[in-house]
Amino acid sequence: MNTIRTAMLLAAMTALFMGVGFLIGGSGGMMIALLIAAGTNLFSYWNADKMVLSMNRAVEVDEKNAPEYYAIVQALAKQAGLPMPRTYLIDNPQPNAFATGRNPQNAAVAASTGLLQRLTHEEVAAVMAHELAHVQHRDTLTMTIVATFAGAISMLGNFAFFLGGNRDNNNPFGFVGVLAAMIVAPFAAMIVQMAVSRTREYEADRRGAEICGHPLWLASALDKIARGAERIPNPDAERNPAMAHLFIINPLHGERMDNLFSTHPSTENRIAALQEMARGMGDGAVRTTQRQAPVPSPADEQQSAGPWGRPAAAEPPAEPARPKPNPWGRNPTGPKGRWS
């Protein structure tokens, strides 16, 4: 079923690409677009994951240089019955994460330094379980292909004015066609991104909660990540907005998460679904209040910096009964908990 969906998506994106080419250069432009689309299909299947990781300047880590983070991913992959994915770290203060790869045997997961610094051990585990759910459902290939095509289509739309300015380019629509390509192409690519991402995030939330065993861990993590994304810009994502739907939360600074044209479903709705799931599972951690724990203040965030950031003077937590903001420490043997 996933193979059929991927093939249909490739066909739709190829048709969209050819349509933009026709608007810009007529039949000749359409044939050129077809050749480019064929090359993009092949490139997307084999190399799109490498390109996405490179665009985010992700660095591969292992049990030696990131033992706590690596151990969490390793234990969760075993829990989900998946091969151990390549594990990457992104030097970015915005808390976020994504998964990529053409299949579970060639998958990769990436988390930002901001995620590891601002979330608790349990919340990080829930986020990585969500990303492994995408791997298990084989969403990573589809979403990475969409990111590659959306970027190519948007770029083609941006160049439409220059490519379509020649009267001898066989364009039957003239300047109107060029203008339509400039406006419609990025918009159509965004619609495809929305259709792919929104439907898959809910299912990845559900499966991720099953993998880690606690829906409320993921609910709390989503709340913190969404608040952090609103306050902290992600320059790499801003330069390549076609990648936005890959992340667990929209990384574009200032983008409203409940916007009609957002690539992600409403964070509040996702949290509500996880809370309902927790009640159905009889999770003892269900809270009576609807509001999740807020993102720590800047001062708290500096104090909770873990091994990925600068060490800060230790102070007792404001609420001793709750988990520490970042229980990573410097233990070279990895975390002490259910994921160790």
Residues at the binding site are 130, 134, 201
Alpha carbons 141 and 194: distance in angstroms, whole number: 16
H-helix or E-strand containing 86? Answer: strand 86-90
Residue tagged 């060490």 (tokens): 311
131 a catalytic residue: yes
Angle, helix 215-231 to helix 267-281, in steps of 10 degrees: 160
Helix residue spans in the chain (DSSP H): 2-55, 67-80, 113-118, 121-136, 139-158, 160-163, 174-212, 215-231, 235-239, 267-281, 298-303
* Strand-strand pairing, 97-100 and 86-90: unpaired
Annotated binding site for Zn(2+): 130, 134, 201
Which H, E and C letters describe 101-141, residue by residue? CCCHHHCEEEEEHHHHHHCCHHHHHHHHHHHHHHHHCCHHH
Q: What are phi and psi of 112, to 5 degrees?
A: -85, 160
Q: Measured at the alpha carbon of residue 143, what is the angle toward residues 196 and 204, in degrees to the nearest 5?
A: 70
Calculate the alpha carbon distances from 327 to 31, 48, 221, 242, 318 in Å: 56, 34, 15, 34, 15
- Choose the catalytic residue: 68, 122, 123, 131: 131
Catalytic site positions: 131
